[in-house]
């Protein structure tokens, strides 16, 4: 199924939105405004957006520690994501999650989980739930090359396969698990080959080509909605930044490798295609970039002007139905004193 | 009133709750085969979709329960044996306990993890664990430890209806005895302790299978003129501090009995609460009766003396009366 002109424009908008968000987030971190670390998706925009655009808004999505792109790809607005990065009460996770866990449940997220591979069985369960409920919703699970070595990958794919669950496992193979090359620690050249172990389709696509990802994931979604079970789609991609911003070790990958991937930048590859098809001319592209920049600035303003949570909020959200209130640390003055 | 055993009580709870709410389903290794004796008749009544045998892949099916719960189902996971939880530790701790909090209240995980504890039965170190204290250290989990058929049914039914993850530790030493359980429906609220026997001289707070030992010990102490009050927390997280502290305020003495290993046991936490908040009511030190810090050995003469029993509880209580 070919994307409509409106979908093509939206793909471009969301890819630019991720890029701009990540550039702004990096500045926030380097400016000392973000607590904790920051894992950016610059370079991976096409695989994120291509996969998310193959879904409906009511489909589910599970992601990982490199979390910023996923909600934007699925349609989230940026203001509450920025607020979360700053630890503000208006953040999408109310200041409880931060950079590794940007999850907007209103666009179908079921969490961005930062333990590598931990979301893979969760996605199988969400797909099981949808199937038992008799809906045709599907669940998309993002994970990296590193996660494909975890036991949860094998347990999750086996469950999805034996129960024919409507799940799409999207491996964002960016070539490195933290600092170690996938070629050093993954036994197969193409992670898609691991699908054979579970008797499900496995396909490797160019992760820098948003349309190639969209096409492969669309086919997997259609298969899932038909009740034929899960698929594994491997998108070969690259992150331009280090594993996390600020890690001082750079020599694990050669500069010419980074340069080579930058030449196949997913946004730069997509722009001439939009122009050739008459979808957007240079002016149209510029207008979208301008509109996204305005959103980013408004989002930053919203985040910076928002309040921090109250310290008492550390005890909120522990339970959906608390049995009595969780207790703040005991203060000596609150403990019973000697009688009389 | 009719009498049934612990496994029958759990089975009735499952039947009633699956009948009541079609979102409830059971998954785990061999559940359709009724391997443990608590899932008999379920697959015949509800079918294989809702009584779902899983691969031996604990992280996989525990994580799947989390995902199903997040989209509105109410899964009940049967772990078969409690130590198999370790294979799924990351899913329990990082996903199930933390998702509601980590995502700022956006996620809800109404699920139950049932874990049978086979100890005092010759299963050796890897199969005899009583691991609830490990999970008590993790915020975001509710934990129940029923000590009778009546409690097992009422607590499990409440756990299935609760909107948060609940772990249910089912004590294998309690499975064979029968007790009165009404045929009419009832629920036991989570988070409330019960005074199982009233007394005035010493409080015996006992957990899971140790409650029955505490009741036997209380009979023996009564023969010596010592009146023991037996308190069962029933829910280990969050603990009902008020009921425990009120009992200690009345008796002035406390023995805490727990089949788990002593270090950082449920008994340790309860003893700390009593020492910290009930100290001025105490007439003697708080005593713990637990399993000492060694692995569970296979040979019965090695294994049997390690666990709390009535005579160890009686000795501990008598020691506080002088």
Q: Domains in chain B, ordered, with CATH?
A: 3-180 (3.40.50.970), 194-321 (3.40.50.920)
Distance to chain A for B310, nearest Cα, Å: 32
Cα–Cα distance, A128 to A159 (Å, whole number):
9
- What CATH number did the domain enclosing A144 receive? 3.40.50.970
Q: What confidence category does residue A332 fall into, taking pLDDT thresholds of 50, 70 and 90?
A: low
* Digit-coded pLDDT (tens) for A160-201: 999 999 999 999 999 999 999 999 999 999 999 999 999 999
Q: Which two tokens stand for residue A266?
A: 């997913």
Taking 90 as the threshold, does the pLDDT of residue A328 lie above it? no
Q: Which among A6, A55, A47 has a CA at the least distance from the CA of A209?
A: A47
Within-domain flag for A339 = no
Q: Residues B235, B193: contact at Cβ < 8 Å?
A: yes
Cα(A234)–Cα(A144) distance, rounded to whole angstroms? 9
ipTM: 0.96
Residue A201, helix vs strand vs coil: coil
pLDDT of A207-252, one tens digit each? 999 999 999 999 999 999 999 999 999 999 999 999 999 899 999 9
Residues of B whose CB is below 8 A from A60 = 71
d(Cα A274, Cα A269) in Å, to the nearest integer?
9
| φ and ψ of B79, to 5 deg | -80, -5
Q: Is A332 on the interface with B (CB under 8 A)?
A: no
Does residue A340 belong to any structural domain of this protein? no
Rg, C-alpha atoms of chain A: 21
pLDDT tens digits along B17-43: 999 999 999 999 999 999 989 999 999
Question: What is chain B's mean pLDDT, rounded?
Answer: 97
Residue A218 forms part of a structural domain: yes
pLDDT of residue A336: 75
A159 at interface of B, judged by CB pairs closer than 8 A: yes
Residue range(s) defining the domain that contains residue A219: 5-334
Measured distance CA(A200)–CA(A192) in Å, rounded: 10
- Say if A69 is an interface residue toward chain B (CB within 8 Å): no
Per-residue pLDDT for B321 more than 70?
Answer: yes
Q: Cα separation of A299 and A84, whole Å?
A: 11
Asked if residue A194 is part of any domain, the answer here is yes
Q: How confident is the model at residue A327 (pLDDT cuts 50, 70, 90)?
A: low
Cβ A133–B71 below 8 Å, yes or no? Answer: yes
Q: How far is CA B155 from CA B5, B10, B48, B188, B234, in A?
A: 15, 9, 25, 5, 8
Residue A12 forms part of a structural domain: yes
CB contact under 8 A, B279 and A126: no
The pLDDT of residue A82 is above 90: yes
pLDDT tens digits for range B84-139? 999 999 999 999 999 999 999 999 999 999 999 999 999 999 999 999 999 999 99
- Token readout for A87 is 């630890």
Does the pLDDT at position B58 exceed 90? yes
Question: How many domains is chain A built from?
Answer: 1
Residue B66 to residue A122, Cβ atoms within 8 A: yes
What does pTM read for this prediction? Answer: 0.96
Q: Hey, is the C-beta of A340 within 8 angstroms of any chain B C-beta?
A: no
What is the number of CB-based contacts under 8 A between chain A and chain B?
Answer: 173
Q: For B162-212, what is each residue's pLDDT tens digit?
A: 999 999 999 999 999 899 999 999 999 999 999 999 999 999 999 999 999
Chain A contact set for B64 (CB, 8 A): 121-122, 124-125, 128, 156, 159
More confident residue, B2 or A325: B2
C-alpha–C-alpha distance, residues B307 and B173, integer Å: 11
The distance of A107 to chain B (nearest Cα, Å) reads 12
- Domain-located, residue A270: yes
Cis before A37? omega within 30 = no
Q: Do A320 and B105 touch (CB under 8 A)?
A: yes
Asked if B79 and B28 count as a contact pair (C-beta separation under 8 A), the reply is yes
A52 three-class SS: helix
- Searching chain B, which residue's CA lies closest to the CA of residue A138? B71
Instruction: Say how far apart CA B141 and CA B95 lie, in whole Å.
Output: 11
The stretch A288-307 carries a mean pLDDT of 98
The 3-state secondary structure of B9-75 reads: HHHHHHHHHHHHCCCEEEEECCHHHCCCCCCCCHHHHHCCCCEEECCCCHHHHHHHHHHHHHCCCEE
Do residue A118 and residue B140 have CB atoms under 8 angstroms apart?
A: no
Average pLDDT of the residues of chain A = 96
- C-beta of residue B119 within 8 angstroms of C-beta of residue B215: no
A323 touches chain B (CB under 8 A): yes
- Name the least confident of A164-178, A319-333, B9-23: A319-333
Which residues from B are below 8 Å from A123, CB to CB?
Answer: 67
Q: Do A338 and B65 touch (CB under 8 A)?
A: no
Q: How far is B128 from chain A (nearest CA, A)?
A: 25
Reply yes or no on whether B127 is catalytic.
yes
Q: How many CB atoms lie within 10 A of CB B163?
A: 16
How far does the CA of residue B29 sit from the closest CA of chain A (Å)?
Answer: 13
Please give the residue of chain A at the shortest CA–CA distance from B105. Answer: A317
Mean pLDDT calculated for residue range B56-68: 98
Contact A115 B49 (CB under 8 A): no
Asked whether the beta carbons of residue A318 and residue B140 sit closer than 8 angstroms, the reply is yes
Question: Is B277–A336 a contact, with Cβ atoms under 8 angstroms apart?
Answer: yes
Q: Give the residue-averaged pLDDT of B263-289.
A: 97
At residue A134 the predicted structure's pLDDT band, cuts being 50, 70 and 90, is very high
Shortest Cα distance, chain A CAs vs residue B320, angstroms:
21
Query: Quick one: pLDDT at residue B209?
Result: 98
Taking 90 as the threshold, does the pLDDT of residue B246 lie above it? yes
Q: What is the mean pLDDT of residues A296-308?
A: 98
pLDDT of residue B249 exceeding 80: yes
- Residue A323: predicted pLDDT: 84
């Amino acid at each position: 199924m070919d994307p409509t002109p409106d979908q093509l424009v939206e793909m471009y908008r969301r890819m630019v939105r991720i890029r701009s968000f990540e550039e702004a987030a990096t500045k926030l971190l380097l400016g000392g405004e973000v607590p904790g670390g920051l894992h950016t998706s610059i370079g991976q925009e096409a695989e994120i957006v291509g996969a998310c655009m193959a879904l409906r808004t009511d489909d589910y999505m599970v992601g990982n520690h490199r979390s910023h792109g996923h909600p934007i790809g699925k349609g989230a607005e940026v203001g509450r994501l920025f607020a979360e990065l700053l630890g503000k009460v208006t953040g999408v996770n109310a200041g409880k999650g931060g950079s590794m866990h940007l999850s907007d449940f209103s666009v179908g997220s079921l969490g961005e989980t930062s333990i590598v591979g931990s979301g893979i069985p969760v996605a199988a369960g969400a797909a099981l739930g949808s199937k038992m409920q008799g809906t045709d919703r599907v669940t998309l699970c993002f994970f990296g090359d590193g996660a494909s070595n975890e036991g949860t990958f094998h347990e999750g794919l086996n469950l999805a396969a034996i129960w024919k669950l409507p799940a799409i496992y999207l491996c964002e193979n960016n070539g490195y698990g933290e600092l170690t090359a996938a070629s050093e620690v993954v036994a197969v050249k193409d992670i898609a080959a691991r699908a054979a172990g579970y008797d499900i389709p496995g396909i490797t696509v160019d992760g820098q080509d948003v349309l190639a990802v969209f096409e492969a994931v669309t086919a997997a979604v259609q298969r899932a909605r038909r009740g034929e079970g899960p698929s594994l789609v491997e998108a070969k991609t690259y992150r331009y930044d280090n594993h996390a911003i600020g890690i001082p070790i750079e020599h694990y990958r050669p500069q010419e490798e980074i340069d080579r991937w930058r030449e196949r930048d997913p946004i730069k590859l997509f722009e001439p295609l939009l122009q050739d098809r008459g979808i957007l001319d240079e002016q149209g592209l510029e207008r979208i970039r301008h509109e996204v920049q305005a959103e980013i600035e408004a989002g930053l303003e919203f985040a910076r002007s928002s309040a921090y949570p109250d310290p008492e909020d550390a005890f909120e959200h522990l339970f959906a139905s608390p049995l009595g209130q969780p207790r703040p640390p005991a203060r000596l003055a609150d403990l019973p004193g000697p009688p009389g | 009133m009719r009498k049934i055993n612990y496994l029958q009580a759990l089975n009735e709870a499952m039947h009633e709750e699956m009948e009541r709410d079609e979102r409830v389903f059971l998954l785990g290794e061999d559940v359709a085969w009724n391997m443990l004796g608590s899932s008999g008749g379920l697959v015949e009544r509800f079918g294989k979709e809702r009584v779902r045998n899983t691969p031996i892949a604990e992280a996989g099916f525990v994580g799947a329960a989390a995902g199903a719960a997040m989209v509105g189902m109410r899964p009940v996971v049967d772990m078969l044996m409690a130590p198999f939880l370790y294979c799924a530790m990351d899913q329990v701790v990082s996903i199930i306990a933390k998702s509601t909090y980590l995502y700022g209240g956006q996620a809800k995980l109404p699920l139950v993890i049932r874990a049978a504890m086979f100890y005092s039965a010759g299963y050796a170190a890897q199969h005899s664990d009583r691991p609830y204290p490990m999970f008590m250290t993790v915020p975001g989990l509710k934990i129940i430890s029923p000590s009778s058929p009546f409690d097992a049914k009422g607590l499990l039914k409440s756990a299935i209806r609760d909107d948060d993850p609940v772990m249910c530790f089912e004590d294998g030493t309690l499975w064979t005895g029968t007790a009165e359980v009404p045929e009419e429906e009832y629920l036991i609220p989570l988070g409330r302790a019960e005074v199982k026997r009233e007394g005035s001289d010493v409080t015996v707070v006992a957990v899971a299978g140790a409650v029955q030992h505490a009741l036997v010990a209380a009979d023996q102490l009564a023969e010596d003129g010592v009146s023991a009050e037996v308190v069962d927390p029933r829910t280990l997280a969050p603990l009902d501090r008020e009921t425990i502290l009120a009992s200690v305020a009345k008796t002035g003495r406390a023995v805490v009995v727990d089949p788990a290993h002593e270090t950082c046991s449920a008994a340790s936490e309860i003893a700390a609460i009593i020492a910290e908040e009930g100290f001025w009511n105490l007439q003697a030190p708080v005593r713990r009766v637990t399993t000492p810090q060694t692995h569970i050995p296979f040979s019965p003469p090695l294994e049997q003396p390690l666990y709390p029993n009535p005579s160890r509880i009686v000795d501990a209580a008598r020691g506080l009366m002088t």
